[in-house]
């Protein structure tokens, strides 16, 4: 059964059609890859699904409920987590605080009065969230960086931290936008293993935009291919590799990943 | 018909001066990233020099040429090399505030040198008029102003387009860092930009004095007038485009002269005489507001936005809770016993200072904690004070009740700005709040029914706090309460969310934080605290007076809050009290009276260039140094200290 689904989504930027009639879904606990050349519209589609961009046409459905037009923060509350192609950390806060903010956002509603008065209820909540954040630190092996400023940790750690922050908000579906960009081969492999563990052990559905073909083929169970905003193929990794259209459109340009993708 | 043509010519003539000035402003903004709010006072200074030269007997044409071609460019180069290049790379709030300091500094210099009198500048052009074919008569001076202004802007355009320097210039305007890499001398270009800009400011001052004010040079009115219309025009091109800024200037000039000429007819048709006049005066701010609200999304969100948010890292880790509590207890303890020691006048002076502290606290939670900038807090203060005044006077409410309810009245206005702040970021938001303060003043606080005219609206001190001492303790209590509020805002979850928002709004949304709600709340809360400050300020003289809520004060408040330390509660308290006792302190040294503005201006510009964390950061650095020295001595006594890599 599909958890999160984009149905015939179209995004038009002025005269430019960034995404046209694209349909993609993540099933409950699924692991889906979204690939395509730079500028194919992958991040745009992600932004539509996570609520950062309203589509010109089509709809986004979560558990059979139409969530098109719903603000990003409300979608996050419903369980859609995401990371960003260009890192978006809370740079001046510590690694722990980054996780804490997300844990608290997932945990409770805004209640200024109990916040300001530091009521017992609030303090209990704070302890619970600190425990969640601490657990995440342990799970991702970030304990050593606990009190570092987020802007000061190495890129590989920062990518993991961003993933951990998304997890702290208790998502049921994760949208990961090029999580391995900037990582070396070894870090990428480790990252892939971690993603598989999250997918398997926590039962979180994952959709990933990725340029590293080895990683995508390794971790994804289904792959969709986007080219010039249009879905040209969908299937298992083996099917995708064999698809002549995909080979023509995309695999010929695999070595092109050094160029920055357009957001 | 003749009247219309004449009006249009006048409009184009005045408009081309605004246009010229706007070009000058955008030029320096784009080359050095500094939005120069002191532009108007540069126009004032140079025009006064021009007047002085003519008063010494120089022919007016030669005096003007000397000022525009030699003196003004030199001033511009001086400012660039001595001030603005030093604050390059600082967060934009710092550079904006440095230009507020510049404004005050130049105002002080003009006051010191020429005594703040209005002077009559001799006319550049013969006072004749020509009759155009069709019978329309236009003044030679109008045509002269038009030709000179258009000529200057035209030569700038030609220089940018055709000369080699122009190419470097455009490269720097487009992308300064990359231009630097391309071996373009960016220092030369920014110096040239400041020279040209200041020269344009001089031209603006001289031509406007001529074209609008009939030769009268008013040291108070001119700079505000200039900066208002120049900002209005510049925002037309969203501070990005020179041609659009030029068009904006023309449009403003034409609209203004049409409104002046046809005011009686407009009033005949729609009535509302006072409103038509106010809209005429508020034209540039209405333009700014409308232009910003309809700005394209890409500009609103990215454009100038991100860089304006305070990016300074808080270099020092907070002191241990025990130390902070002790310091706070000592400070408030001392404040609590002051009235028992000193004279009544001193306790009122201190109360004034503590009220400033409350206002600055409202800025600390807004700018320091959440990274939003407001240059328009006087609007909130005024709304609260006048509301409280009317509740107390017209409805006979007790001041105990009128005070909080009045402050609550500022909350919707704050929340509205917060709501807009979701869609409008950075420098654009700052300009919107500035425009908001001016509109609040011109459209509402000038209304007799609201502000009570010159006399203000009576607002008695609450029963039991009527005496100087009683009022002092009321203020102290409110200061302590607001400080506690600010501290708990910072330490708890809300503080974490605000800090997170300051760093990345996108990330906040992605984990489920409703950014809109928090912005609305933080602006509302800030407006409430500022409102309390406004009410208390009015209670000093027992009357809410519009003179207390001039937009210019809002700029000064932000400057002082940043100087004190915008990230810290302690900074707000210290700088508020210092600012409050400053006038009384300098009474002891009469010669300081004349140069206090100069001191303030110099101090703020230079201090910020050195340390964006402000006075409080400096104090704490000293405290930390002392503390670590003590620790080290102790450690050395007890045992040979292990070397542990420097530490913080």
Distances (CA, A) of B19 to A207, B173, B236: 52, 19, 11
Chain A residue with minimum CA distance to B515: A73
Interface touch B510/A84, C-beta < 8 Å: yes
How far B196 CA sits from the closest chain A CA (Å)? 38
Q: Is the domain of B243 the same as that of B353?
A: no
Q: Which of A96, A101, A263 is the best mutation test for B, with the most CBs of B within 10 A? A: A101
> Could you tell me the two tokens for B277?
């006049």
Say if residue A95's pLDDT is above 90: yes
Q: Which residue on chain B is closest to A95 by alpha carbon?
A: B500
The pLDDT of residue A253 is above 60: no
Residue B322 is assigned to a structural domain of this protein: no
Contact assessment for residue B500 and residue A93, using Cβ atoms and an 8 Å cutoff: yes
Q: List B543's β-bridge partners, or say none.
A: B458
Distance separating alpha carbons of residues B618 and B557, to the nearest angstrom: 20
> Are B502 and A92 within 8 A, CB to CB?
yes
What's the gap in Å between the CA of A180 and the closest CA on chain B? 18
State residue B313's pLDDT score: 42
pLDDT (0 to 100) of residue B310:
42
**Partner residue facing A118 (CB), from B488, B496, B508:** B488
Distance CA B200, CA B579 (A): 35
Helix (H, G, I), strand (E, B) or coil at B342: coil
Q: Write the burial class of residue A80 (CB in 10 Å: 0-12 exposed, 13-18 middle, 19+ buried).
A: buried
Of the candidates A36, A21, A8, A7, the residue with the CA atom closest to the CA atom of residue A245: A36
Strands B119-120 and B216-217: antiparallel
Question: Are the beta carbons of A76 and B509 separated by less than 8 Å?
Answer: yes
Looking at the fold, whether B461 and B584 belong to one and the same domain comes out as yes
State which residue of chain B sits closest to A150, comparing Cα positions.
B503
Closest CA to A183 of A206, A163, A207, A205: A163
Taking the Cβ of residue A165 and every Cβ of chain B, the question of whether any pair is shorter than 8 Å is answered with yes
Among candidate residues A68, A139, A50, the one with its CA nearest the CA of residue A103: A139
Is B513 within 8 Å of A105 when comparing Cβ atoms?
Answer: yes
Q: Grade residue A200 by pLDDT with cuts at 50, 70 and 90.
A: very high
> Of B306, B310, B507, B521, which to mutate for an interface test with A (greatest number of A Cβ within 10 Å)?
B507
Q: Do A93 and B504 touch (CB under 8 A)?
A: no
Tell me the CA distances in angstroms from B53 to B46, B61, B65, B75, B485, one per residue in order: 11, 11, 11, 16, 56
Distance CA B36, CA B96 (A): 7
pLDDT, residue B645, reads 43
Q: Taking CA atoms, what residue in A is nearest to B488? A: A116
Are residues B488 and A83, on separate chains, in Cβ contact within 8 Å?
Answer: no
What are the tens digits of pLDDT across the range A17-44?
Answer: 888 889 999 988 899 999 988 888 889 9
| B234 and B375 together in one domain | no
CB burial of B22-40 (b: ≥16 within 10 Å; e: otherwise) equals bbbbbbbbbbbbbbbbbbb
Domain membership flag for residue B579: yes
Closest partner CB to A104 (pick from B313, B493, B509):
B493
**Cβ–Cβ of A92/B503 closer than 8 Å?**
yes
Q: Inter-chain contact A122–B492, Cβ cutoff 8 Å?
A: yes
| Overall size of chain B counted in residues | 648
- CB contact under 8 Å between A106 and B512, yes or no, is yes
Residues of A within 8 A of B365 (CB-CB) are none
CA dist B69 and B312 (Å) reads 38
Contacting residues of A for B499, CB less than 8 Å apart:
90, 92-93, 97
pLDDT of residue B283: 87
DSSP B195-263: HHHHHHHHHHHHHHHHHTTTTEE-TTHHHHHHHHHHHHHHHHTTTT-HHHHHHHHHHHHHHHHHHHHTH
Same domain, B414 and B557: yes
* 3-state class (DSSP) for residue A111: coil
Query: Which chain A residues have a beta carbon less than 8 Å from that of B489?
Result: 116
Q: What span, in angstroms and rounded, lies between the C-alpha atoms of B141 and B127? A: 7
For residues B281 and B355, membership in a common domain is answered with no
Of A82, A90, A168, the CB nearest to B499: A90
Which tokens in the block code for residue B296? 């394209």
Determine contact: B515 vs chain A, CB below 8 A.
yes
State whether B12 and B120 are in the same domain: yes
- Is B460 within 8 Å of B466 (Cβ atoms)? yes
Q: Are strands A173-177 and A205-209 parallel, antiparallel or unpaired?
A: parallel
Tell me, yes or no, whether B349 and B262 share the same domain. no
The minimal CB distance from A92 to the residues B494, B497, B499 is found for B499
Name the nearest CA neighbour of A45 among A65, A64, A26, A73: A26
> By the 8 A CB rule, do B383 and B440 touch?
yes
Within an 8 Å CB–CB cutoff, is residue B502 touching chain A? yes
- Over residues A171-191, the mean pLDDT reads 89
Q: How is domain A86-170 classified at the CATH fold level?
A: Rossmann fold (3.40.50)
pLDDT at A150 over 70: yes
Within this chain, do residues B19 and B137 fall inside the same structural domain, yes or no?
A: yes
pLDDT at B308: 37
Name every chain A residue with its beta carbon within 8 A of the beta carbon of B502: 92
Domain boundary among B239, B270, B294: B294
Q: Are residues B488 and A116, on separate chains, in Cβ contact within 8 Å?
A: yes
pLDDT category, A262, cuts 50, 70, 90? very low
Residue B638 CA to residue B264 CA, distance in Å, equals 87
Among B502, B510, B516, beta carbon nearest to A50: B510
Task: Tell me, yes or no, if B492 comes closer than 8 A to chain A by beta carbon.
Answer: yes
Distance CA B17, CA B19 (A): 5
Task: Judge: B512–A169 Cβ closer than 8 Å, yes or no.
Answer: yes
Q: What angle do CA B520, B435, B240 make, to 5 degrees?
A: 100
Which candidate, B472, B227, B232, B241, places its Cα nearest to that of B337?
B472
List chain B residues with pLDDT less than 70.
Answer: 1, 89-92, 173-177, 298-319, 586-597, 599, 604-618, 620, 638-648
Are residue B24 and residue B140 in the same domain, yes or no?
yes
One domain, residues B66 and B156 = yes
Can you give the pTM of this predicted structure? 0.86
If you measure CA to CA, which chain A residue comes closest to B505? A88
| Residues of chain B contacting residue A90, judged by C-beta atoms under 8 Å apart | 499-500, 503-504, 507
Interface test with B, best of A88, A99, A114, A130 (most B CBs within 10 A): A88
The enclosing domain of B81 has a CATH number of 1.10.3470
Residue of A nearest to B298 (CA): A13
Select the CATH number that applies to the domain covering A1-81+223-263 from these four: 3.30.9.100, 3.30.70.2740, 3.40.50.300, 3.40.50.150. 3.40.50.300
Q: Is B485 part of the contact surface with chain A (CB cutoff 8 Å)?
A: yes
Nearest to B273 by CA among B259, B287, B252, B289: B259
Summarised one tens digit per residue, pLDDT across range A153-176 is 998 899 999 999 999 998 999 999
How many A/B residue pairs have CB atoms within 8 Å? 105
Within-domain flag for B358: yes
Distance separating alpha carbons of residues B590 and B274, to the nearest angstrom? 43
Decide if B494 and A97 are in contact by the 8 Å CB cutoff.
no
Predicted local distance difference test score (pLDDT) of residue B307: 37
Find the residue in B nearest to A130 (Cα). Answer: B493
Residue A116, chain B, CB below 8 Å: the answer is yes
Cβ neighbours of residue A154 under 8 Å, at least 6 residues apart? none
- A170: alpha, beta or left, given left = phi > 0 and alpha = psi -120 to 50? left
Helix (H) or strand (E) holding A66: strand A65-66
For residue B229, is it within any domain? yes
Chain B positions touching A51 (Cβ under 8 A) are: 509
Domain extent listing, chain A = 1-81+223-263, 86-170
B-chain residues near A122 (CB < 8 A): 492-493
Domain contains B315:
no
Taking the CA atoms of B247, B252, B257 and B259 in sequence, report the sign of the dihedral they define.
Answer: positive
Contact B550, B396 (CB under 8 A): no
Nearest residue of A to residue B311 by CA position? A92
CA distance B487 to chain A (A): 9
Q: Residue A63 — left, alpha, or beta (φ > 0 → left; ψ -120 to 50 → alpha)?
A: left
* Rounded Cα distance, B517 and B506, in Å: 14
Q: Which residue range is the domain that position B381 belongs to?
A: 334-621
Rounded to 10°, the helix B2-32/B186-211 angle is 160
Cα–Cα nearest to B442, from B382, B392, B390: B382
Kindly report the number of other CB atoms within 10 A of residue B473's CB atom.
17
Distances (CA, A) of B216 to B55, B64, B119, B120: 14, 16, 6, 5
Longest Cα–Cα distance of chain A, Å, equals 64
Residue pair B35/B262 in contact (Cβ under 8 Å)? The answer is no
pLDDT higher than 70, residue A130: yes
Q: Side-chain half-sphere of B323: how many Cα atoms within 13 Å? A: 9
Best probe of the A interface among B511, B516, B567, by most A CBs < 10 A, is B511
Please answer whether residues B524 and B395 qualify as being in contact, where contact means their C-beta atoms are separated by less than 8 angstroms.
no
Q: Does residue A219 register a pLDDT over 70?
A: yes
Tell me, yes or no, if the two domains A1-81+223-263 and A86-170 fold the same way.
yes
Query: CA-to-CA distance for B285 and B435, rounded, in angstroms?
Result: 5
Question: In this structure, are residues B105 and B42 in contact, taking their beta carbons and an 8 Å threshold?
Answer: no
Same domain, B518 and B577: yes
User: Are B160 and B271 in a shared domain?
Assistant: yes
Whether residue B302 lies within 8 A of chain A, CB to CB, comes out as no
Closest CA to B373 of B332, B322, B415, B425: B425
Q: What confidence score (pLDDT) does residue B200 get? A: 93
Contacts of B506 in chain A (CB under 8 A): 52, 84, 88
Which residues sit opposite B544 in a β-bridge? B457
What are the φ and ψ backbone dihedral angles of B299, each rounded to 5 degrees?
-70, -45
**Shortest Cα distance from A85 to chain B (angstroms)?**
12
Shortest distance, CA B562 to any CA of chain A (angstroms): 19
Q: Is B529 exposed, middle or buried (0-12, 13-18, 19+ CB in 10 A)?
A: buried
Least confident of A22-26, A97-101, A219-223, B594-598: B594-598
Cβ distance of B503 and A72 shorter than 8 Å? no
> What distance in Å separates residue A209's CA from the closest CA in chain B?
17
């Amino acid at each position: 059964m599909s958890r999160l689904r984009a149905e015939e989504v179209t995004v038009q930027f002025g005269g430019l059609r960034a995404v046209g009639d694209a349909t993609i879904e993540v099933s409950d606990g699924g692991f889906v890859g979204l690939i395509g050349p730079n500028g194919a519209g992958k991040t745009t589609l992600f932004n539509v699904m996570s609520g950062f961009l309203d589509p010109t046409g089509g709809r986004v459905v979560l558990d059979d409920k139409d969530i098109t037009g719903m603000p990003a923060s409300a979608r996050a509350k419903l369980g859609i987590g995401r990371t960003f192609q260009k890192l978006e950390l809370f740079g001046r806060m510590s690694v722990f605080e980054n996780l804490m903010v997300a844990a608290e956002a997932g945990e409770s509603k805004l209640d200024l009065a109990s916040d300001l008065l530091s009521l017992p209820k609030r303090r209990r909540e704070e302890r619970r969230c600190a425990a969640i954040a601490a657990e995440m630190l342990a799970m991702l092996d970030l304990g050593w960086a606990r009190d570092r400023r987020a802007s000061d940790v190495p890129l590989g750690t920062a990518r993991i931290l961003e993933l951990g922050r998304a997890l702290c908000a208790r998502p049921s579906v994760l949208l990961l936008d090029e999580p391995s960009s900037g990582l070396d081969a070894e870090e990428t492999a480790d990252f892939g293993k971690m993603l598989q563990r999250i997918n398997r052990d926590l039962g979180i559905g994952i959709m990933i935009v990725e340029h590293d073909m080895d990683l995508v083929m390794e971790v994804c169970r289904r792959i969709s291919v986007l080219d010039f905003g249009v879905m040209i193929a969908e299937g298992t990794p083996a099917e995708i590799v064999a698809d002549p259209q995909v080979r023509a459109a995309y695999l010929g340009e695999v070595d092109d990943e050094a160029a920055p993708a357009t957001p | 018909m003749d009247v219309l043509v004449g009006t249009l010519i006048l409009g184009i003539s005045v408009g081309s001066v605004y246009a010229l000035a706007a070009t000058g402003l955008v030029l320096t903004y784009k080359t050095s990233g500094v939005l120069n709010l002191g532009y108007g006072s540069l126009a004032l200074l140079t025009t006064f020099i021009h007047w002085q030269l003519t008063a010494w007997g120089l022919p007016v044409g030669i005096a003007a040429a000397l000022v525009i071609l030699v003196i003004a460019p030199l001033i511009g180069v001086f400012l660039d090399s001595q001030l603005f290049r030093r604050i390059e790379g600082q967060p934009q709030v710092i550079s904006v505030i440095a230009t507020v300091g510049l404004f005050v500094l130049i105002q002080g210099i003009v006051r010191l040198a020429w005594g703040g009198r209005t002077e009559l500048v001799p006319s550049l052009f013969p006072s004749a008029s020509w009759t155009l074919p069709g019978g329309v008569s236009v003044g030679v001076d109008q045509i002269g102003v038009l030709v000179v202004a258009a000529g200057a802007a035209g030569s700038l355009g030609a220089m940018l387009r055709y000369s080699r320097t122009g190419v470097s210039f455009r490269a720097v305007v487009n992308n300064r860092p990359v231009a630097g890499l391309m071996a373009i001398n960016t220092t030369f270009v920014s110096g040239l930009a400041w020279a040209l800009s200041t020269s344009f400011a001089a031209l603006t001052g001289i031509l406007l004095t001529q074209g609008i004010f009939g030769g009268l040079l008013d040291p108070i009115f001119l700079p505000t007038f200039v900066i208002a219309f120049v900002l209005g025009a510049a925002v037309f091109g969203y501070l990005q485009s020179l041609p659009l800024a030029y068009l904006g200037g023309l449009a403003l000039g034409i609209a203004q002269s049409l409104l002046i000429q046809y005011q009686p007819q407009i009033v005949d048709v729609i009535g509302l005489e006072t409103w038509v006049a106010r809209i005429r005066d508020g034209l540039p701010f209405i333009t700014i507001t409308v232009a910003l609200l309809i700005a394209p999304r890409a500009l609103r969100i990215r454009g100038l936005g991100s860089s304006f948010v305070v990016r300074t890292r808080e270099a020092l880790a907070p002191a241990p809770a025990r130390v902070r509590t002790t310091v706070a207890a000592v400070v408030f303890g001392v404040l609590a016993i002051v009235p028992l020691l000193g004279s009544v006048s001193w306790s009122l002076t201190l109360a004034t200072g503590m009220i400033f502290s409350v206002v600055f606290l409202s800025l600390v939670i807004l700018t320091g904690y959440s990274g939003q900038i407001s240059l328009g807090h006087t609007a909130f203060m005024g709304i609260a004070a006048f509301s409280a005044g009317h509740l107390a006077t017209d409805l006979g409410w007790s001041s105990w009740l009128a005070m909080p309810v009045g402050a609550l009245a500022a909350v919707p206005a704050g929340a509205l700005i917060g709501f807009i702040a979701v869609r409008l970021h950075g420098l654009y938001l700052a300009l919107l709040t500035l425009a908001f303060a001016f509109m609040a003043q011109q459209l509402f606080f000038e209304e007799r029914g609201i502000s009570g005219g010159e006399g203000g609206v009576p607002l008695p001190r609450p029963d039991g706090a009527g005496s100087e001492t009683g009022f002092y303790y009321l203020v102290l209590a409110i200061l302590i309460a607001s400080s506690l509020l600010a501290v708990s805002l910072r330490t708890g979850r809300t503080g974490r969310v605000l800090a997170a928002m300051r760093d990345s709004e996108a990330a906040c949304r992605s984990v489920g934080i409703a950014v809109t709600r928090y912005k609305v709340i933080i602006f509302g809360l800030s407006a409430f605290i500022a409102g309390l400050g406004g009410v208390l300020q009015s209670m000093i003289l027992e009357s809410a007076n519009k003179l207390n809520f001039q937009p210019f004060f809002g700029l000064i408040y932000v400057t002082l809050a940043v100087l004190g330390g915008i990230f810290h509660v302690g900074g707000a308290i210290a700088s508020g009290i210092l600012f409050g006792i400053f006038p009384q302190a300098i009474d002891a040294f009469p010669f300081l009276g004349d140069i206090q503005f100069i001191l303030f201006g110099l101090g703020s510009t230079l201090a910020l260039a050195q340390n964006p964390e402000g006075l409080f950061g400096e104090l704490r650095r000293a405290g930390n140094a002392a503390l670590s020295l003590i620790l080290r001595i102790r450690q050395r006594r007890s045992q040979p200290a292990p070397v542990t890599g420097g530490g913080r």
